[in-house]
Amino acid sequence: MVDCLMLKTKPSSEVQKWSVTEANKGLSEIQGLLELSIQKSSCEQDSHKDMLFVYMKGHGKFPLSASAIGVRSFDFLGLGYHVHWPLSVVLTPAALKIYADIFSFLIEVKLAIFSLTDVWCSLKDLMDATNKDKNYELQLEAGHLNILMKMRHQINHFVSTLQQYVESQLSHVSWCRFLHSLEHKVYMKKKAYQMMETMKKYQMMKTMKKYEMMKTMKNYKTNDYYS
């Protein structure tokens, strides 16, 4: 979904403007981007995909301060999941908030990658302009730009690796483990139900046998009396 949210975002400054000025017109457009991202993902055939929705955090107000610019441009946006009973007993609001926080963090990481891409484009233009000029001072500046370029590559590698780790470990693997444990709980619940049904049948059989024994003893006493 993060990629689809950035469909109209060249450069990152447009992301910031879009997130603050256009999003307050409603969540319908963002919800449409969510549905589009699901269609383009491996979850297209998922029967529960329509349960996902986006919402505004807090009181639905959009931050207009300078602190909202940058990787926190989409802090107002949250990802939710419609949960019905009895699944709501397991998937509590506190549990869903964990996945919402992961989603928010991934948006910040994606925006950081976009910012690093903008930095790379700017440095590349400066490097090209510097290499064309044979001025000694500009050649020194080229060395500094080269250091900045290498630093940018290192930061980009770290951020990209962090994104892959969060997506593969904290999100996907954790969710698979949860589904596995849920299947185990469903299996145990089924076995417990079968055991209860067996106990009910057993109690019923005991009652019937007890009734038959009492009836037999009554008939025996009646026959003994008349004999």
175 domain residue, yes or no: yes
Residue 178: what pLDDT?
Answer: 66
Residue 208: what pLDDT?
Answer: 66
Tokens of 7: 């469909």
Residue 14: what pLDDT?
Answer: 46
47 domain residue, yes or no: yes
Which residues form the domain of 12? 2-185
55 domain residue, yes or no: yes
Residue 183: what pLDDT?
Answer: 65
146 domain residue, yes or no: yes
Residue 221: what pLDDT?
Answer: 58
Tokens of 171: 């999100």
Structurally, the chain folds into a number of domains equal to 1
Cβ contact 37:1 at 8 Å:
yes
227 domain residue, yes or no: no
103 domain residue, yes or no: yes
149 domain residue, yes or no: yes
Q: Which helix (H) or strand (E) holds 95?
A: helix 93-132
Residue 184: what pLDDT?
Answer: 61
Segment-wise mean pLDDT, segments of 10 residues, the chain, 227 residues: 47 46 63 81 75 75 52 80 78 82 86 87 82 69 82 88 80 68 59 63 66 64 55
168 domain residue, yes or no: yes
Cβ contact 114:6 at 8 Å:
yes
Write the secondary structure of 18-58 as one string of H (helix), E (strand) and C (coil): HHHHHHHHCCHHHHHHHHHHHHCCCCCCCCCHHHEEEEECC
